[in-house]
Structure 1
């Protein structure tokens, strides 16, 4: 049981700490708004993390790698990344001064950091691929007819590690925000937006080649 818990904690850390769209969006919003927006993106992404973990452990994530489901989902993910990236570039070029105690320009569905994190995670094709493999590996280690209890233990350890990472990541970004000037804040924000656009284009090209 201890080994199962440690495996869940480790996979949760590796899964969430790997650089990707969620971290990039957290960085983009965190350098502008601080700890709160960065944490909100991370917490929002847990919705997708939990959904894909459950599907992966149930063996259903592999079904979404089929072309008839994989391609539409990839296109949706590209659109989400593209819109968020363009928003980041626009905000960096035309910075808005927030009023005291308020987050900058929260209008629009993708503008809310919590919603943005959830959308990125739910529409991420990388999450599908990851859990299609990881879920099968965990299931294989536990046996074909794995009891429900060990799966719950693994899932709980994974989510615990994921929640801890949310605060670690948001704290790091908040510290970075305090350490850089306003000019570098805009450069980081614009760079993060551009990175999201690049991710969307690369993902689209990979899909076209399939």
Structure 2
């Protein structure tokens, strides 16, 4: 019989993983932007790439690496890199929205997928705020009946989170693939432009925070 405490922990971590990944954000927007022209594969690649960053920040947070948050130089560098990447991808989205559909023909699938993987990883790794979420989460684990979480508890929590994250990758890519197949070229271009605009605004917001932090 499954330990009720373990089942509760896995359920909580699984639900947290779904809510964490399904929340609209840059990774969602980039997945949609690439999937609208390339379909399922590039959308999935962005999502899979983002797991690299998710797993990194989750592992550091669960291990109690809150010292990273207290390292202004490192946080500043990551913020600058993440904001710059957002601006670059946003500019690509706006550019593609103004291209005739024939010119927006996707590249060969291998190169397209490689670029999408790197984009997803870059967006996730360039968001150091995620580690703050995990450090805070460890602090509320006593509410789950884990007053002093053991390495085993943290391992199971990480497993539940990553299981939900992997599942969401395919759900998200499937939704985007439906849009790719059923939306008109004009609608796809409009949505691509909207994604690009969202990424530009997100990048400006991140860099604005970086500038204020430097003053």
TM-score (norm 2): 0.86
Distance 2:56 2:112 in 1: 26
Q: Decide which of 99, 102, 105 is 1:98's aligned counterpart.
A: 105
Q: Residues 122 and 11 of structure 1: is their aligned pair in 2 closer, same or farther, counting only changes over 3 Å?
A: same
Q: List structure 1 segments (4+ residues) > 3 angstroms apart after TM superposition.
A: 101-107, 138-141
1:1-210 to 2 correspondences below 5 Å: 1-60=6-65, 62-66=66-70, 67-94=72-99, 95=101, 96-98=103-105, 102-103=108-109, 106=112, 112-138=115-141, 142-144=146-148, 146-210=149-213
1:5 touches 1:153 (CA, 8 Å); kept in 2?
A: yes
Structure 1 residue 207 displacement after superposition: 2.6
2:78 touches 2:128 (CA, 8 Å); kept in 1?
A: yes
Unaligned runs of 5+ in 2: 1-5
1:57 touches 1:136 (CA, 8 Å); kept in 2?
A: no
Q: Which moved more, 1:147-156 or 1:115-124?
A: 147-156
RMSD over aligned Cα atoms = 2.2
Q: Residues 80 and 9 of structure 1: is their aligned pair in 2 closer, same or farther, counting only changes over 3 Å?
A: same
1:37 aligned counterpart, secondary structure: helix
Number of aligned residue pairs: give it: 204
TM-score (norm 1): 0.88
Unaligned runs of 5+ in 1: none
1:98 touches 1:104 (CA, 8 Å); kept in 2?
A: no
Distance 1:113 1:139 in 2: 38
Q: Which moved more, 1:13-22 or 1:135-144?
A: 135-144
1:112 aligned counterpart, secondary structure: helix
Structure 1 residue 183 displacement after superposition: 0.7
